[in-house]
Structure formats: C-alpha cells, structure tokens
Amino acid sequence: MIETRLLQQFVAVAEELHFNRAAERLHMAQPPLSQAIRKLESAVGAPLFVRTHRSVALTPAGAAFLVTARTALSALEEGVAQTRRVAQGIEGHLTLTFINIAPYTPLLRALRGFRNACPGVAFTMVEATTQEQVIALEQGRADIGFMRTPGTSVPHLRMATVSSEPIYVALPAGHRLESAPTIELASLKDDAFVASPRTLGKGFHDQLISLCQAAGFVPNIVQHGRQMQTLIALVAAGFGVALLPASLATTAREDVVFRPLQADPSDEMARLDLFMAWNETRASTLRDRLIQTILQSLSAS
C-alpha cells in the first residue's frame, strides 16, 4: 500500500525536477524527501528518476507513474469533497416511498424546489402502500415515506402531517344520489362498497369502517383494490360506492360522481391526513434537510 503522502511528494519532485525546490514546496528538508522517493521506488519496483549532480529527470516508468499519481490524488480529493457535500446535506441519494401524491400540489412544489436547490441529490421514487412503506422505513430501505396513518404506533417512526382533506363519496354515474349536493353516509347503508384491503393500510381502512359504524352500519365491501385509481375504476364499473380523499375528485370521468359527505368540518374521522414519515434511529443530514425544506415550504403555502 502506497501512502498518499508519498504520491504527493513524488508529484512535487516530478513537477519541479529539483529536490531542493520540491522540498521547499512541501515545507520539508531535502534529505527526508530523497528518502521518501527511494521508498516509493522500492514499493513500485522501478526507478522513477534519473539523478545526476546537475539534473533530475523522469524515467519512462516515472512518467507513466506520474499520470497514475495525479489521477489517484485527484480522485481522492474529489472523494473527500463529495464526502463533505454529503455531510452538509447537499449531495447524496434519497429513497422516497409514497402513495398517490399526484393531487398534492404543495408537496410536489416543495420537492421540486429541493431538487432545484440540490441538483447533486439523486432520488429513487417507489410507489407503495402504507404498510409496505412502514416496513421499508423500519428496514432502512427508504429514507422518507408519504403515507396514510399506519393505524398503530410504530416504534422509532416520526410523522408529520403534510396534508389534511375531507372524505368524499365516489358514486357510479346514474346512482340514485347522484344529484344530491352532499351525501349523508347513513343513506348508503344498503349499497355495496369497494375499498382497499386492510393488509395494505389498516389505519385508512379502519378509519373508513369506523366512519360507517358511527353512521349506524357496517359497510358491505364486495371488492378490493390496491390503488385509488383501481377503486375509482371499480366504482365506474358499477361494483359499488367508495369513500376516497377529496383530492381525487379532480379526476375527470363521466362515469363517476364525487360528492362531499354531510359531516362536521371539525370531525377528524371525516378527514384523511397524508403524513411524511421517517425512522428517527437512522441519522441522515440529507434526509433531515429535505424534511426541513418540505415543512418550511408547506407552512409558507
């Protein structure tokens, strides 16, 4: 193993072609520098300089090794600089997991602002259910997740609310309540429902069940869908009605009608939150910088 110090000393001599000037450049005495070069030649296994009383010149092997030494030192210098940039939170890699975040414009704006400010950060974006995200955060396979409430307390998982919206009812076109401006949930007690399975997000699932129970009935769930867009398609196909985030009401379809629930605006059960979650046991300056950027951007919007 050749020490970095020896490479720096060799480059100085190769560029000065004079041991005394190279020693002055390195702020050292000439005899230790000569000893260092001999040590390097021994390690390389070939003479690197032709020395006379009047001159110093590179051998062919020395000229070739100069290219190698400069490349190695440059790579090391860049590696150190990159390490500092990562430590400062301006470069590196982040893996983000998320449910459908397309409707959440303020969050998307915050992510775009961070990318513009930190172009040296690479992202891996993974669409996943809430339960899948919790597991990925626990195992260190994700840095930040955007999810619904997990439904149960998860050790070491920190969460911050990034959006809160009312729950709407999605009805198939032609439904008997299509013309109603708002929907009383109890009026759907005899309807079939479509919903996401509890195994993929029990917090969201249990909230919708509890909302129906508070209205006096247990929903008859006849079909499940993994994604929100799948649920909308099932509604359009007439399989049943669905309780969905209000942000999905922007989906333009002639075969699905979205209506708000008749509910007290302060009733948290009738609202859906989107959370940003991270594992507080895993330190990351870069992740923390993104979290801070998102929270500041959302508070200003």
pLDDT at 264: 75
Claim to verify: residue 52 and residue 134 sit in the same structural domain = no
User: 60: domain CATH number?
Assistant: 1.10.10.10
Claim to verify: residue 150 and residue 283 sit in the same structural domain = yes
Claim to verify: residue 214 and residue 224 sit in the same structural domain = yes
Claim to verify: residue 265 and residue 167 sit in the same structural domain = yes
Residue 128 belongs to domain spanning: 92-162+273-300
Boundary-marking domain end, from 87, 108, 139: 87
The total of structural domains in the chain comes to 3
Claim to verify: residue 267 and residue 183 sit in the same structural domain = yes
Boundary-marking domain end, from 87, 103, 137: 87
Claim to verify: residue 185 and residue 248 sit in the same structural domain = yes
pLDDT in tens, the chain (301 residues): 788 898 899 999 999 998 999 899 999 999 999 998 999 999 999 999 998 888 899 999 999 999 999 998 888 888 777 777 677 666 789 999 998 887 888 999 999 999 998 888 999 999 998 989 999 999 999 999 999 988 778 889 999 999 999 999 999 999 999 999 999 999 999 999 999 998 888 888 999 999 999 999 999 999 999 888 899 999 999 999 999 999 888 876 889 999 999 977 668 888 989 999 999 999 888 999 999 999 999 988 7
User: 289: domain CATH number?
Assistant: 3.40.190.10
Claim to verify: residue 179 and residue 268 sit in the same structural domain = yes
Claim to verify: residue 151 and residue 171 sit in the same structural domain = no
pLDDT at 267: 82
Residue-wise DSSP of the chain:
---HHHHHHHHHHHHH--HHHHHHHHTS-HHHHHHHHHHHHHHHTS--EEE-SS-EEE-HHHHHHHHHHHHHHHHHHHHHHHHHHHHTTSSEEEEEEES--TT-HHHHHHHHHHHHH-TTEEEEEEE--HHHHHHHHHHTS-SEEEES--SS--TTEEEEEEEEEEEEEEEETT-TTTT-SSB-GGGGTTSEEEE--GGG-HHHHHHHHHHHHHTT---EEEEE-SSHHHHHHHHHTTS-BEEEEGGGGGS--SSEEEEEB---TT-GGGEEEEEEEEETTS--HHHHHHHHHHHHHHHH-
pTM of the model: 0.70
Does residue 205 contact residue 211 with C-beta atoms inside 8 Å? Answer: no
pLDDT at 269: 86
**Strand-strand pairing, 256-260 and 192-195:** unpaired
Claim to verify: residue 256 and residue 280 sit in the same structural domain = no
pLDDT at 141: 95
Boundary-marking domain end, from 87, 118, 140: 87
pLDDT at 137: 95
Claim to verify: residue 120 and residue 135 sit in the same structural domain = yes
Claim to verify: residue 145 and residue 181 sit in the same structural domain = no
Claim to verify: residue 81 and residue 113 sit in the same structural domain = no
**How far is 48 from 249, CA to CA, in rounded Å?**
74
